[in-house]
Structure formats: C-alpha cells, structure tokens
Amino acid sequence: MQSPDAIAELARIWKRYEGDPDGAIHAITETAARALKVARASVWLLSEDATEMTCVDLYEAAEHRHSAGVVLRSVDFPQYFAAMLEEETIAAEDAHTDPRTSEFSKPYLGPLGIGAMLDAPIRTGLRLVGVLCHEHIGPTRVWGLGDAKDAAFLASLASLTLELKHRAMREALLAATLESTGEGILASDDKSVLAYNQRFLDMWKLDAKAMRSFEGVRNYISARTAMSGLVGAANEAFAGEAGESIDVLELDDGRVFERASRPQLMGPKVVGRVWSFRDITAQRRAEAALRASEAKMRDLAIRDGLTGLFNRRHVLELLNEAIARSLVAGERISIGLVDLDYFKKVNDELGHLVGDAVLRDFAKQLMQRFRASDHVGRYGGEEFLVVLRGANTSAAARIFDEVRRGFHTREFGDVPKYTFSAGIAELGVDGADAMELLGRADVRLYEAKRLGRDRTISG
C-alpha cells in the first residue's frame, strides 16, 4: 500500500507545482523515496528510437539532493533495455544476479552499494516513455505487491506530469494529484454496522450518529448513487453469497467512488461483508483529459494545420478505402481535383497572410457545400481533393457547378474575390485505382486552366 504520510505530503504541497512540471517530478521522486523507503529514486526518459535513456531527475534521500543528466545506452546495457521494453515492472531483489540488471553490477551498483532495484514503466497514452527507478542501498530486498503497486501509482503520476510538460496539460496534472490516498471502510452483518473509519464518514458526509442503523446507512448511500449497489451486495452477503466484487458508484454530486465488496467468513459461513470505498473522481477526470488529448493528437495527425481539412496522406487513404468499398458494393466514386485560380498572384501582390486567409476561406466553403459523406482534403499548396461517394461524372460536375455559381454571388468579406478550376474523374470510367483517377483528374484540371479557368472539366 502507498505510504499515507508520503502521499499526503505530496498532495499537500502539489498546488505549488502548478505550471512547474520539473518541480512536480522532483516531488514525485522524493515521495517515491519516502513511500518505498529507498535511498535513491529517479525518473528516466527513453529516446524516440529506444536506444538511450536519460535521467531527468535523481533524488538521493540521505543528502536530500537532486541531479540529472546521466545517459544509459542500449549498446552498453542490452539485457536491461530488452527487459524494460517488455513494459513490465522490473523487481530485481538481487540486482547483482538478476539477469535484467546484472549488467549494472560493476560500473554502478557495486560502487554505490545498491543491492536491489524496482523499476516501474512510465507510459503516455499507449507508448513507453521511461521508467521510475527505486534503488535500495544495502543487501538484497524482497519487493512485495504493495511496493509494486506504489511504484505503479507514482509512475502514473510521473506519466501525467510528463504528458503535461509536453502537451501543457495543467488540468490533467492537477486532477491526477487529487487522487485519494485513503479508503472509506464499512463492515456489517445483516442487521448492524460492525465497524467503520473516519474516512468513510468524510467521503459520505455522515456523522457518527448516522451509523447506529445499518438500514439507514445503506438506504442513504443507495439514494446518493445511480444504482442501489450497496443494497444488492448486502443482500448477496446475507443470502450466503461468498463472492467478491468491484464496481463503480456515481454520486449525485458528481463524485465517483470505486467500491470493493468482500464477504467475511467464519469457516464456510458468510457472517457479514466489508465494503471499501475509494474516491476515483480525479482519476476519471484525468483519464478523460488523457483520452481527449490522445483524440486531439490523432486528429492532428490527419488534419492540415492551416485549413483544418484532411491532409494529403489521409485523404488519399480515404480515397483508397472508398475504392475498396466500391469494388465490393458497386458504389460509384468520383473525385474532383481543385485548384485556386491565380493564387500565386494573390501571394505575390497581397502577401502570404492574405493567401493563407484565402486558403482557409476556401476550405470552409468546401466543407459547407459538400455532403458529410464526401471527403475533402488539402492535396498540396492551393490544390484540394474531393472524393464524392455515390456520384458519377455528371453528378459530380453538377455539384461543382453549383458550388461555382454560389461563389459568383457570395460575399467574400475580408478576403479578395477568387475563383477555382476543377478536373473530375470517375472510378471505372477514367481509371481503376487512385493513381489513374488522380492522373486523369489532373489532366482535366490543366485543361480547365488552359481554357480560361473558373470552370470544371469532366470529360
């Protein structure tokens, strides 16, 4: 289990590290040293190619000293790097003989008197980014399940801190540090409350007088949650059910508790049940923030930074997917390769800032004027690609002509008036794959330019 004093101290001082990820890492290593009672705790970051690890903070408890900068290379410690990349906790009770850590014996462990190591992986999203290392000075040490749990918890805080540092997620870091350090405990038989702790009262906002009636307590809790889980679990216990369960209770005030339910046995007979409640509200918010961040990163990977449209790589992927579906379902597919007319003149005469505004305006118009089932992407420069599902050449040309007529009558606002040209190609008529379609559409786009621009050529 986590050391209450160490974790409570971390929670108490955390506010001062808002906006200070480096200070937060220092706080985590100091807490790790106290919580696991080790002389040295450190955070190491893995390079992108996984060939090096750099120490971003080493805390030495005896000297109360922080340092950084040491680099480990996989070529020097191949067994350790191989074990680390398995992304499992490395619990080396005898670090000198454990094959995962024995490479450190002569150059590192021996001179410093380190006998045991416990390294917990640090991940951001689904990617391993480093380790939180705990080093025991002295003889061998048996690492228990509680040690591994503490290390994993602190590594998760380090993960959120690093995520914040690289993605400016201050709210996610704050939410993670608010994770509760204690559990509310309630024990009962089928009629009365047998035991409880102060944390239980605080979590449920009860006083000691309310604990005189178990029926009153469970009815109060059931009324505060979205499910009558306590009543159901109690009924199971009183009916003789010996199973254990873990579930989640959502309270009417927005908090979320994880509840573990365990039977109390006297021989084979169930005589009562113990519930433990843990406040996971901050954890849920942090997970939501991380999911949102990961979704944003995924979106950034497929979007053009200037226009917000799909980028070239992704719109071509969507085109190939549409072609593959068409081969199975027989759906018609047409594409339009679009180019802004005289765009170079806009950049040369009015500047690139105005040119960028025109590109953004055109992207907005395309998104508004094409269907949600169509795919619109920036193909490159002032060229755009539209994939029209369920449309033949004639239908595609008609749609582009309607868009063009809308441009002739629209208000351009803060951007100069502009026009566009387009070349259209249809799957099965002008080509059997993406490259053939794009080639044919490009030829027709060039023809539209040659004939005077502001027009669509479809055949």
Encoded amino acid at 45, one letter:
L
Q: Report the C-alpha gap between 404 and 448 in whole angstroms.
A: 13
Q: Which of 15-19, 36-40, 154-158, 282-286 has the lowest mean pLDDT?
A: 15-19
- Residue 167 banded pLDDT, cuts 50, 70, 90: low
- Does residue 240 have a pLDDT over 50? no
Q: Which of 244, 382, 383, 411 is catalytic?
A: 382
Q: Report the C-alpha gap between 43 and 134 in whole angstroms.
A: 9
- Residue 178 banded pLDDT, cuts 50, 70, 90: very low
Q: Which of 33-37, 175-179, 279-283 has the lowest mean pLDDT?
A: 175-179
Give 272 or 432, the one with higher predicted confidence.
432
For the chain, the residue count is: 459
Residue 137, φ and ψ in degrees, nearest 5:
-90, 125
* 420-426 β-sheet, strand order: 375-380, 383-389, 333-340, 420-426, 456-457
- Does residue 374 have a pLDDT over 60? yes
Q: Report the C-alpha gap between 38 and 118 in whole angstroms.
A: 10
CA separation, residue 143 to residues 31, 89, 90, 135, 381 (Å): 17, 11, 10, 11, 58
Encoded amino acid at 338, one letter:
V
Give the containing element (helix H, strand E) for 299: helix 281-302
Mean pLDDT value across residues 368-386: 92
Helix-helix angle 281-302:170-177, to 10 degrees = 160
Neighbour tally for 400: CB within 10 Å: 26
Place of tokens 């014996």: 105
Whether the CB-CB separation of 251 and 273 falls below 8 Å is answered with: no
Judged by DSSP in three states, 82 sits in: helix
Encoded amino acid at 374, one letter:
D
- Does residue 231 have a pLDDT over 60? no
Q: Report the C-alpha gap between 258 and 249 in whole angstroms.
A: 6
- Does residue 363 have a pLDDT over 80? yes
Can you read off the two tokens belonging to residue 335? 């594409």
Q: Report the C-alpha gap between 128 and 50 in whole angstroms.
A: 9
Q: Report the C-alpha gap between 72 and 172 in whole angstroms.
A: 30
Sequence-ordered alpha helix ranges (H) in 168-280? 170-177, 198-204, 214-224, 229-238
- Does residue 226 have a pLDDT over 80? no
Q: Which of 250-264, 370-384, 438-452 has the lowest mean pLDDT?
A: 250-264
Four-point Cα dihedral 243, 246, 247, 252, nearest 10? 110
Q: What percent of the chain has pLDDT over 90?
A: 51
Q: What is the DSSP string of 377-388?
A: EEEETTEEEEEE
- Does residue 288 have a pLDDT over 80? no
- Does residue 169 have a pLDDT over 60? no
- Residue 110 banded pLDDT, cuts 50, 70, 90: very high
CA angle 134, 139, 144 (to 5 degrees): 50
Whether the CB-CB separation of 457 and 447 falls below 8 Å is answered with: yes
pLDDT at 295: 64
Q: Record the pTM.
A: 0.41
CA separation, residue 310 to residues 314, 315, 366, 376, 400 (Å): 6, 6, 12, 7, 19
pLDDT at 11: 59
pLDDT at 3: 52
Question: Longest C-alpha distance within the chain, in Å?
Answer: 93
- Residue 371 banded pLDDT, cuts 50, 70, 90: confident
Residue 124's DSSP bridge partners are: 127
Q: What is the DSSP string of 343-357?
A: HHHHHHHH-HHHHHH
Can you read off the two tokens belonging to residue 32? 């790790």
- Does residue 181 have a pLDDT over 60? no
- Residue 204 banded pLDDT, cuts 50, 70, 90: confident
Mean pLDDT value across residues 226-242: 46
Q: In Å, how far from its chain's centre is CA 404?
A: 42
Residue 335 is classified by DSSP as E
pLDDT at 7: 56
Can you read off the two tokens belonging to residue 372? 């949600």
pLDDT at 238: 37
Predicted confidence (pLDDT) per residue in 291-350, tens digit: 776 767 776 788 998 999 999 999 999 999 999 998 888 889 999 999 999 999 999 999
- Does residue 170 have a pLDDT over 50? no
CA separation, residue 108 to residues 56, 251, 414 (Å): 18, 51, 65
- Residue 18 banded pLDDT, cuts 50, 70, 90: low
Q: Report the C-alpha gap between 347 and 158 in whole angstroms.
A: 47
Q: Report the C-alpha gap between 80 and 108 in whole angstroms.
A: 13
Query: Is 382 considered catalytic here?
Result: yes
Give the containing element (helix H, strand E) for 196: strand 193-196
Q: Report the C-alpha gap between 134 and 21 in whole angstroms.
A: 20
Q: Report the C-alpha gap between 136 and 121 in whole angstroms.
A: 18
Q: Structural domains in the chain?
A: 4-177 (3.30.450.40), 184-279 (3.30.450.20), 303-457 (3.30.70.270)
Query: How do strand 456-457 and strand 420-426 relate by DSSP bridges?
Result: parallel
Predicted confidence (pLDDT) per residue in 45-103, tens digit: 999 999 999 999 999 999 999 999 999 999 999 999 999 999 889 999 999 999 999 99
pLDDT at 287: 76
